Amino acid sequence: MTKTITLDGKTIPFTDGQTIMQAATAAGEYIPHLCHHPEFTPHGSCKLCTVKVNGRNCSACTFPAAEGQDVINNSQELTDDRKKITQMLFVEGNHFCPSCEKTGNCQLQAVAYYLNMLDDHFPLFYPHREMDASHPDVLIDHNRCIFCTLCVRASREQDGKDVFGIVGRGINKNLAVNSASGKLKDTDLDKNDKAAHICPTGAILIKRTGYQVPIGQRIYDHHEINEVTLLSENHHGE
Amino acid sequence: MANKVRVATTSLAGCFGCHMSFLDLDERLVALAEHVEFDRSPITDIEHASNCDIGLIEGGVCNSENVHTLREFRKNCKILVAVGACAINGGLPAMRNFIPLEECLSEAYLDGIGVENPQIPSDIELPLLLDKVRPIHEVVKIDYYLPGCPPSADVFWKFLTDLLEGREPELDYGLVHYD
């Protein structure tokens, strides 16, 4: 017999070992997320996928689905929490969308659109962050890093390398690269690596490709992230 | 005509792009003018806002005059609106926040290429620069936000017609862009 959970009052099936996120995605239900990607080990750090499971807040990307769970995903309370989390991500970095070449294709921006986030609410930190343009093909703009660790996981789990890591804590947290010089050019990162293409924001960019699609004609200019995500993540053949 | 809604607008540390986008309402401005009259605004040259219903603020806060203007608007507008990226998060002018103010001034007035008679302007008439450019919600309470660089004329139209017709303003997906 098929095992099921209840998601916003709807009965959806799951198989043993699936997380709530995996079951929801397979059932065509979007749970907002930034650090989760179906190809990589879940990290559970961005907290955008927080859902209420039997009355307790859990990260849907790490929490295993279990028979009879009552899961709430779409509620005003969770939307408000997610909006606050997204606003914190914006003020803790330097996200100037009008001058960012990822605008319109950026998942951070798209999640904010999805949550109808119109302001930053909090005071802005304007942290001082560097850029690393040393690599011939790939650029790191630390201003836009949200520490989702997708590049870290992609490099280790799929590229078989170990190019990225997160160092430091709090406002001094930083995306580090694995080379003696600390420069990207001295790592073994290649522009065709998964890690060079996985960044949900404009922190890791392929050089000389930024404006191939004009602003205004990009993915999230016309499609909400829920439909884009469900479409792409259900084609990963999990 | 006495019952027209009074609207004031200003640009702080902005580029007037949001004002230009507002003017993109084109013929809809005529329809708007039936319900709205302008108080302090670049459109009228009225110098101080008084008893307004709606204040539209473009740009962030980069100097002491911006702070005074913003506070005057807050005091005189029932509804205060942050218009555009710079008002909301500092925007392009805030990209100087990562360079010490002294270095910015030196580059512009002392060491820059082509500078003649190098000196940092210090006339008493000039407002003092803040060490950092700040979004306006850090200085006064803001009631509504219109994102965009600039927000399109359709955003102004939707927002103002919602307000004028007594609805809570709402921007649907196609009207919300940060760029």
* CATH number of the domain where residue B153 is located: 3.40.50.700
Instruction: Judge: A118–B147 Cβ closer than 8 Å, yes or no.
Output: yes
Interatomic CA distance for residues A55 and A72, integer angstroms: 8
Instruction: Judge: A124–B142 Cβ closer than 8 Å, yes or no.
Output: no
Contacts of B144 in chain A (CB under 8 A): 118
Residue of B nearest to A91 (CA): B89
Cβ neighbours for A80, distance < 8 A, ≥ 6 positions apart: none
What does the pLDDT profile of chain A (238 residues) look like in tens digits?
A: 799 999 999 999 999 999 999 999 999 999 999 999 999 999 999 999 999 999 999 999 999 999 999 999 999 999 999 999 999 999 999 999 999 999 999 999 999 999 999 999 999 999 999 999 999 999 999 999 999 999 999 999 999 999 999 999 988 999 999 999 999 999 999 999 999 999 999 999 999 999 999 999 999 999 999 999 999 998 764 4
Interatomic CA distance for residues A166 and B80, integer angstroms: 41
Interatomic CA distance for residues A219 and A197, integer angstroms: 16
Instruction: Judge: B179–A100 Cβ closer than 8 Å, yes or no.
Output: yes
Contacts of B142 in chain A (CB under 8 A): 119
For the four alpha carbons of B113, B114, B120 and B124, in that order, the dihedral sign comes to negative
List the single residue in B88, B92, B179 with the smallest CB-CB distance to A119: B88
- Domain of B171 in residue numbering reads as 5-97+131-175
**Cα separation values, B157 from A150, A218, B30, B43, Å:** 40, 24, 12, 17
A137 min Cα distance to partner chain B (Å): 25
| Token digits of residue B163 | 């307000």
A105 touches chain B (CB under 8 A): no
Q: What is the CA radius of gyration of chain B?
A: 18
Instruction: Judge: B145–A118 Cβ closer than 8 Å, yes or no.
Output: yes
pLDDT recorded at residue B178: 97
A190 touches chain B (CB under 8 A): no
> Which part of chain A is CATH 3.30.70.20?
81-210
Indicate the burial class of A94 (C-beta count within 10 angstroms; 0-12, 13-18, 19 or more). Answer: buried
B178 touches chain A (CB under 8 A): yes
Q: What is the number of residues in chain B?
A: 179
Contacts of A104 in chain B (CB under 8 A): 179
Say if CB B48 and CB B19 are below 8 A apart. no
Q: Which CATH architecture has domain A81-210?
A: 2-Layer Sandwich (3.30)
On whether residue B90 sits in a domain, the answer given is yes
Residue of B nearest to A124 (CA): B89
| Token digits of residue A47 | 């907290």
Instruction: Judge: B137–A90 Cβ closer than 8 Å, yes or no.
Output: no
- State the amino acid at position B118 in one-letter form: P
pLDDT over threshold 90, residue B104: yes
Which B residues, 114 through 133, put their C-beta within 8 Å of a C-beta on chain A?
132
What pLDDT digit, counting tens, does each position of B24-40 carry? 999 999 999 999 999 99
Contacts of A112 in chain B (CB under 8 A): 178
B17 touches chain A (CB under 8 A): no
Instruction: Judge: B88–A124 Cβ closer than 8 Å, yes or no.
Output: no
pLDDT recorded at residue B2: 57
Residue of A nearest to B98 (CA): A128
ipTM score assigned to the predicted complex? 0.94
Instruction: Judge: A116–B176 Cβ closer than 8 Å, yes or no.
Output: yes
pLDDT recorded at residue B109: 96
pLDDT recorded at residue A238: 43
| Token digits of residue B164 | 């004028």
Interatomic CA distance for residues A68 and A47, integer angstroms: 23
Q: How many domains does chain B have?
A: 1
On whether residue B87 sits in a domain, the answer given is yes
* Interface with B, mutate which of A118, A122, A220 (most B CBs under 10 A): A118
Residue A109: CA count within 13 A, CB half-sphere: 30
Rounded to two decimals, the pTM is 0.96
Residue of A nearest to B96 (CA): A126
On whether residue B54 sits in a domain, the answer given is yes
What confidence tier does B163 reach under pLDDT thresholds 50, 70, 90? very high
Q: Out of A233-237, B93-97, B123-127, which region has the weakest mean confidence (pLDDT)? A: A233-237
Q: Which CATH architecture has domain A3-74?
A: Roll (3.10)
Interatomic CA distance for residues B12 and B136, integer angstroms: 9
Instruction: Judge: B146–A118 Cβ closer than 8 Å, yes or no.
Output: yes
- Could you tell me the end-to-end alpha-carbon distance of chain A, in angstroms, rounded to an integer? 21
B82 touches chain A (CB under 8 A): yes
pLDDT recorded at residue B45: 86
On whether residue B110 sits in a domain, the answer given is no
